[in-house]
Amino acid sequence: MQLHQIDERICSDPCAGPCSGCPDRVVCHCFKVTEETVVAAIRRHGLVTVREVRQMTEAGDGCTCCHAEIRELIEIHAESPVKKAEFQVA
């Protein structure tokens, strides 16, 4: 039995699990946005919300199934994953 993801992934890692951490791994299947694109946008532009990632990359603008994964990438790669609203003066 072969797993569908093994047959289609670009990286050469022979693991049977999800290709987490692989820059070519697709995070948003609706718009074919890769992990590398999302992480680069988070780091380069200081993104700290899913909404900001959506606006910058289109990832998460479709079915929204990838929002949890985008949040995880923000937690890992953002310099300070604090919502900007906390800094706004009322």
Q: Give the pLDDT confidence score for residue 79 in this predicted structure.
A: 84
Q: Look at the domain 21-87 and name its fold.
A: Arc Repressor Mutant, subunit A (1.10.10)
Q: Give the pLDDT confidence score for residue 90 in this predicted structure.
A: 40
Q: Give the pLDDT confidence score for residue 43 in this predicted structure.
A: 94
Q: Give the pLDDT confidence score for residue 23 in this predicted structure.
A: 75
Domain boundaries, the chain: 21-87
Sign of CA dihedral 43, 76, 69, 35: positive
- Is-above-0.75 flag for pTM? no
Cβ proximity of 36 and 20 under 8 Å: no
Cβ proximity of 21 and 27 under 8 Å: no
Q: Give the pLDDT confidence score for residue 52 in this predicted structure.
A: 97
Separation CA 64–CA 87 (nearest Å) = 27
Q: Give the pLDDT confidence score for residue 19 in this predicted structure.
A: 54
Tokens of 41: 């946008």
Q: Which stretches of the chain score pLDDT less than 70?
A: 1-21, 80-90
Q: What angle do CA 8, 67, 15 make, to 5 degrees?
A: 30
Q: Give the pLDDT confidence score for residue 22 in this predicted structure.
A: 75
